[in-house]
Every structure is written in C-alpha cells, then in structure tokens.
Amino acid sequence: MERVGLIDGLEPGTTSTFRVVLQEDVVVQLDDLLVTQQKLPDGVMHRTYGVVSEVYSKLEGASFLSDTARIAQDQTMPGQAMRYADVRVLRHVPELYVPPQSGAEVHKAQGALRQEALYEDQMGKGVALALDQVGLPIKIDLEFLDGTRGGHVSISGVSGVATKTSFALHLLYMLMESPQGRQALGVHSATTRALVFNVKGEDLLHFDQPSRKYAQRLADNPDLAEQWRQLGIAEPGPFRSVAFYAPLSRQAGTTTMTDVSSRAGSGLRTYGWPPLDFVRQGLLRFCFADADDGRNQLSFVEQRVRVQLARWAHPSREHPGAIVMIPPEHSCSYNLEKLVAQKRPPRTAGEGELVRTLADMIDFLEAQLESNATEWTGNTQAGTVNAFMRRLQAMAPRFGHLITDRVTSLQLEGPLAPQENVVVVDIHNLHDDGQRFVVGTLLSSVFAAKERGQRFPLHFVVLDELNKYAPRQGSSPLKEVLVDIAARGRSLGVLLVGAQQSASDVEPTVVRNAAIRVVGRLDSGESGAEFYRFLTPALRERAIRLLPGTMILDQPLVPAPLPIRFPFPNYATRHDELPDLSEQESDDLFTFR
C-alpha cells in the first residue's frame, strides 16, 4: 500500500472526518480514497475509510504575510512547507463508530481495500457505471435501480453543459450492452425494455450507428480504450437493438410521412392513435395535460365527455381504426354495415356519425353540446363548457394529425410491442401540448400494462425536461401518472430515469423517490436548493464549475456522493457523428446547428 502521511495530532479526528498531514513525496488530490488502521483496546483491528474532500498547503512558522518570502526565498526565518488534507469518512470496518487514532499511518485504498471502501462487498448486483478521478471504476448496486431495494434515477444540471441526456444513454448502455449489466439483469436481460423520449432536435435518433468521432478521440487519447476496459467493455459500439418512431407529419395527406429529415427512409416508423384507441383508452384526458390550478371544472367536463364518448363509440367495419358514433339507446339495433356503406358520413347523431380524425370528433362534440349539453356535461355552466371546447379546438392544429385512422397505435407492452430492447419516440417537433399528450399516453399504457402483468422484465423510461411534465405547482393527468410511477413504479418494474435543469422545479414526490441521484453542473442559485442537501458544501461549490462529462453520483449504499466521469461513447449522439458523412458535411451541419 502507498503511504500518504499521518493523521493530524493537532486537530481532533471524529467518526465522520479527520485530517491527514501529507508526506512531501506523494500526490494526493480531491476524491482519492484513503484508509487507516488501528488496534482497539479489545484487540479488534479496525479500518477507517475516507474520501479526500479538500487539500491544503501552508508555510508552518509564518505569522505575517511578509514571513512568506523570509521562509520560502531568503530562508532567513525558520519554517517549513506543509500539505494536509481533510477526509470525509466513508466506512468503518468492522462497523464500530470510533475515531481514527491520531498519528496513525494513512494509505491509499487500493485493490481489495478500495472495493471495501466503496461497499462493493455489500452490493447484491454491482455494475461498473463510471470512473473516478484516477480512472478506476465506480459501481452502482442495481438492486437500488431495478426496484429490489429502490428505484428511479434523477439527473440534474444546466442545459448544454451538464450532459444529462448523454449520461442517461450511458446508463442504459452499461445496463443493456455491457456484460456486467446483462449479468446483473439476469434471465430477463434479453427482454428488458427502455423507452426514450427525444425532446431536443434529432440527436437521439442515431445511436444505433457508430460514431466517427470516437476514432478521432481514440487517436488523440489512447487512454480512452483503457477507460472502457475498466468498465468491462473491450470494444464499445452502438446500441444493437433500437426502434425509432416519429410522429405522423401534418402534411402527410394520405401517406405516412414524418417531419424527421436526418433519418428519413432509414428504419423510421410513424406513430399516432386511431380514434378507436383514442376513445377506448380514454386519451381525451391527455389533451388537457398542462398543469392547472385545480380550481376550475374543466377536468369534470372532460371526465363526463370521456365517458360519453366510450358509450357512443363503435368500431367501423369499413375504416379500421375509425369509430361510428351511435346513441346508446340505438346501438343494439343499429345497422353498422348500412352506415359504413354510405358515400358520405351522416351528420345526424341519431343516425350515427363516422369519426376518422380528431377534427371529426370535435365537430361531433360541438353538435352534441349544442343540442344535448346536459347529457354530456351535466349541469356545468355554459362558460365552463365553452372553455372546454375552446381548449379542445386549440388542440386540433397542435397535434390533431396524430389522431387518425391512417395509423396504428404504438403498443409498448404485450404481443404487438416492438421486439427491439430500446424504443425511441421522437416528440421534438410537436407543440408542447402534443408532447404532453404523447408522453402521457405512452407512460399510462406502459404503467397500466405492468399493473396487469408481472414486474419482470423491467421497463426503463428516459424523460428529459421533467419539470415540464411534472411541475412543482398545479395538477394534471400527466403529472398524476408520473407521481404514480415514482411512488409505485419500482414495485411494478417501471423505472424512471428523469432529467431536469432544476430539481427544485419538479414535483418533490417524483425527485425524492429517486434512489440514485446524479448531478452535473448546477446554476449557482439552484445549488442551494433543498433537494441538493445530500451534497457537502465543498461539492456544491464544485458543482457550479463541473466540466462536461463530469458528474456527481449519490447512491444509498455509499454514504458520501462521489464525482465520476464517463468515457466518450462509440455511438452517434448527433447526426454529424454518423460514419457515412464527409468532413465537410459534418462541418456544415455543425455550423447550421
């Protein structure tokens, strides 16, 4: 073991912190793991492990500022340059809370001692996730992620610097592509699923392809390959089993085009919801997924209308996915074949009406609310009913193109689900209301399927901008789904990997239920929020200056948060990283962005 110094005998050590006087010939930096040993009066050998929280340098013997030159340069005054480090205790072995012995030798924790310091011997399913500051692996216990003893991940940091989405992808890669991750997932590794929402640009639509920038990074930094080997991966590559979905374009007409340009015609599938599924699944509630103040009656009107739609709707035989609206009193005897054979959809509700799009449904509702408002909305005041219709009419141009009988529903669970392990759903081009509709619809379907099924295989959900979907203030159906996932998801096998710039802007129930917390660079004002109390004052200060690729990891088993780094991946996270692009094409794309 490499000795680094002695425990300071001037400053008292405690069971949580101590100070080490460093030797002249050693280098000790922040986040180094140290160990000291002592023999207790009863003969037990006791080890204390700690992590360096700060390193100091001073001239011992100097009393005034001018003494610095006299000691260091002129040597006309006795004194000595000293270095010392503050250490935060990580672990006591055995678990006896006694302070380390003053004057005892301190060594770097290496090999088996390092593993013991990081509680790796206590991990039920240890998976190497990232690297520490010296390039050695840091493991997480998958039992605190897969729902066995905890679940969910919260990733916080400012946009563009904290690399939140990059770390979320790295986490999925280490779970689903690395040998350690697959071994920890066990017999269910091949069927473990992940749902990734692409909310910014088209960056997350290419990670099934290798990154040509990886070769450039490898040439500039040969240690990159060793970093991946430390994580148990000999040859990093792209994700091997990914399905990409994009919304139906507004200009699609009778085709199934999308608005995605960088992956057009390259394994991109369209998604939407036919009116039949829209009504059967009660998706009208997600048309009102923006948070409100809870004092209006729009939610009451929406519930009444949703129930009435389910009573009136019958599947169309001529147009699969469309519905025929028939009054409940006529539904048993009504001739559906006669209805669908007509040249034009009948406009009289008593005869039935064909609904193929959201616009058709809105027209039908307008007619019903004008002629029979009491049956559809109860005794709700006309002003509230009109407000409901105005809100619903505003949704048609925002995401009405997703509700049509020209598409089939995206099923993420069950026999019709995609066979790929990772499903990426692009929502970046949708209006905010459309994004909330898609996120709420898919999350509720996954959660409902898990409630009816079994906990395994696990289903991970990666969602950025969590503060937009589960804001601290207000209530909405989407927020209720996310709160339910945070509270019960781990027992059902639905694990949320949520990212946000400011955890203080997210519903506290959602972020507090995350067993694993990861922090990138923070805004100076955000670092003082209540959520970040798990960070020491020194780490809060460092979080304001963290560089891209460096994060702070906090997990339940290790009592102190640790800075980590993760290596540059060999999968494309931007279109300009695709291997078939020329250098000039890549530069043009980068300049445009």
pLDDT of 518 higher than 50: yes
pLDDT of 339 higher than 50: no
The phi and psi torsions of 252 (rounded to 5 degrees) equal: -70, -25
Q: Which helix (H) or strand (E) is 370 found in, with range?
A: helix 358-371
For the segment 80-122, what is each residue's pLDDT rounded down to a tens digit? 899 999 999 999 999 999 999 999 999 999 999 999 999 999 9
The two counts, helices (H) then strands (E), for the chain are: 18, 21
Residue range 22-27: average pLDDT?
Answer: 94
Res. 576 pLDDT band, cuts 50 70 90: confident
pLDDT of 75 higher than 90: no
- Range of 161-175, 409-423, 510-524 with top mean pLDDT: 510-524
Q: Which helix (H) or strand (E) is 432 found in, with range?
A: helix 432-452
- Closest Cα to residue 81, out of 103, 54, 56? 56
Partner residues linked to 518 by β-bridges: 155, 553
Res. 327 pLDDT band, cuts 50 70 90: confident
pLDDT of 260 higher than 90: no
In terms of Cβ atoms closer than 10 Å to its own Cβ (0-12, 13-18, 19+), residue 382 is exposed
pLDDT of 338 higher than 70: no
What torsion do the CA atoms of 482, 485, 487, 488 make, to the nearest 10 degrees?
160
The phi and psi torsions of 276 (rounded to 5 degrees) equal: -60, -45
Res. 254 pLDDT band, cuts 50 70 90: low
Q: What's the rounded Cα separation, in Å, for the pair 555 and 447?
A: 25
pLDDT of residue 162: 59
Res. 330 pLDDT band, cuts 50 70 90: low
Annotated domain spans of the chain: 3-112, 126-270+412-592, 275-402
3-state secondary structure of 467: helix
Residue range 254-267: average pLDDT?
Answer: 71
Res. 342 pLDDT band, cuts 50 70 90: very low
Res. 433 pLDDT band, cuts 50 70 90: very high
Q: Which pairing describes strands 3-7 and 313-315: parallel, antiparallel, or unpaired? A: unpaired
Which of the pair, 16 or 347, is modelled with greater confidence? 16
For the segment 393-411, what is each residue's pLDDT rounded down to a tens digit? 999 999 999 999 988 888 8
Res. 211 pLDDT band, cuts 50 70 90: very high
Q: Tokens for 454, please give them.
A: 């079994």
pLDDT of 547 higher than 70: yes
Question: Is 2.40.30 the CATH number for 3-112?
Answer: yes
pLDDT of 351 higher than 80: no
In CATH, what is the architecture of 126-270+412-592? 3-Layer(aba) Sandwich (3.40)
- Closest Cα to residue 391, out of 311, 293, 479, 299? 299
- Average pLDDT, rounded, for the chain: 89
The phi and psi torsions of 483 (rounded to 5 degrees) equal: -65, -40
Res. 35 pLDDT band, cuts 50 70 90: very high
CB contact at 8 A, 462 and 207: no
Question: Can you list the pairs that 323-331 forms with residues at least 24 positions away whose Cβ atoms lie under 8 Å?
Answer: 323/275, 323/276, 323/279, 323/354, 323/355, 324/352, 324/353, 324/354, 324/355, 325/349, 325/352, 325/353, 325/354, 325/355, 325/364, 326/352
With the C-alpha atoms ordered 107, 111, 116, 118, is the resulting torsion angle positive or negative?
Answer: positive
pLDDT of residue 149: 94
Q: What's the rounded Cα separation, in Å, for the pair 576 and 211?
A: 9
pLDDT of 131 higher than 70: yes
Percent of the chain topping pLDDT 70: 91
Q: What's the rounded Cα separation, in Å, for the pair 418 and 242?
A: 9
Q: What's the rounded Cα separation, in Å, for the pair 556 and 141?
A: 9
Buried b (16+ CB within 10 A) or exposed e, 92-109: bbeeeeebbbbebbbbbb
Question: How many CA atoms lie within 13 Å of 333's alpha carbon, on the beta-carbon side?
Answer: 3
Percent of the chain topping pLDDT 90: 71
For the segment 233-244, what is each residue's pLDDT rounded down to a tens digit? 999 999 999 999
pLDDT of residue 389: 94
Q: What's the rounded Cα separation, in Å, for the pair 296 and 233?
A: 55
- Closest Cα to residue 22, out of 48, 44, 63, 54? 54
In terms of Cβ atoms closer than 10 Å to its own Cβ (0-12, 13-18, 19+), residue 526 is buried
pLDDT of residue 410: 87
pTM greater than the 0.85 cutoff: yes
Spell out the residues 6+ positions from residue 573 whose beta carbon is closer than 8 angstroms to its own.
Answer: 165, 166, 169, 203, 204, 206, 207, 211
